[in-house]
Chains A and B, each alone.
Chain A
Amino acid sequence: MLTLPIYLDNNATTPLDPRVLDAMMPYLTNMFGNAASRNHAFGWQAEEAVDYAREQIASLINCSPKEIIFTSGATEADNLAIKGVFEMYASKGNHIITATTEHKAVLDTCKHIEKLGGKVTYLPVNEEGLIDLQQLEEAITDKTILIALMFANNEVGVIQPVREISKIAKKHGVLFFTDGTQAVGKIPVDVEADSIDLMAFSAHKMYGPKGVGALYVRRKNPRVKVTAQMDGGGHERGMRSGTLNVPGIVGLGKAAELAKQDMEADTARISAMRDRLEKELTTIEESYVNGSREHRLPHVSNISFKYVEGEGLMMGVKDLAVSSGSACTSASLEPSYVLKALGLSDDLAHSSLRFGLSRFTTDEEIDFAINHVKEAVSKLRELSPLWEMFKEGIDLNSIEWAEH
Chain B
Amino acid sequence: MAYSDKVIDHYNNPRNVGTLDKSKASVGTGLVGAPECGDVMRLQIEVDENQVITDAKFKTFGCGSAIASSSLATEWLKGKTVDEALAIDNMAIVEELALPPVKIHCSVLAEDAIKSAINDYRVKNGLPALEIAKSHH
Contact = CB atoms under 8 A, between A and B. Distances in A.
Nearest to B64: A315
Contacts of A309: 38-39, 61-63, 66
Given A347-B35, A404-B34, A404-B37, A312 B66 contact: yes
A328 B32 CA distance: 18
B91 interface: no
A386 B61 contact: yes
B35 A402 contact: no
Nearest to B34: A401
A402 B33 CA distance: 6
B100 to A, nearest CB: 11
B34 A312 contact: no
A266 interface: no
Contact of A385 (B3, B11, B37, B60): B60
B5 interface: no
26 contacts: A307-B61, A309-B62, A312-B61, A312-B63, A312-B67, A316-B11, A326-B38, A328-B38, A328-B63, A346-B35, A346-B36, A346-B37, A347-B36, A350-B35, A350-B36, A384-B40, A384-B61, A385-B61, A386-B40, A386-B61, A396-B35, A401-B34, A401-B36, A404-B33, A404-B37, A404-B109
The prevalent SS among residues of B at the interface is mixed
Interface string B55-84: 000011111101100000000000000000
Contacts of A102: none
Contacts of B11: 312, 315-316
Contact of B35 (A310, A326, A401): A401
Nearest to B63: A311
Contacts of A208: none
B59 A388 contact: yes
Interface in A80-111: none
A385 B59 CA distance: 5
- Report the contact-size class of chain B (Cβ under 8 Å from the partner): 20 to 34
A100 B69 CA distance: 36
Contacts of B42: 385
Interface residues of A, number: 29
A335 B38 contact: yes
A264 to B, nearest CB: 40
Nearest to B42: A385
Contacts of B36: 345-347, 350, 401, 403
A382 interface: yes
A383 interface: yes
Nearest to A400: B34
A387 B59 CA distance: 10
Contacts of A335: 38
Contacts of A312: 11, 61-64, 66-67
A308 interface: yes
A50 B32 CA distance: 60
Interface in B74-114: 102, 105, 109
Interface in A342-374: 345-347, 350
B129 interface: no
A395 to B, nearest CB: 12
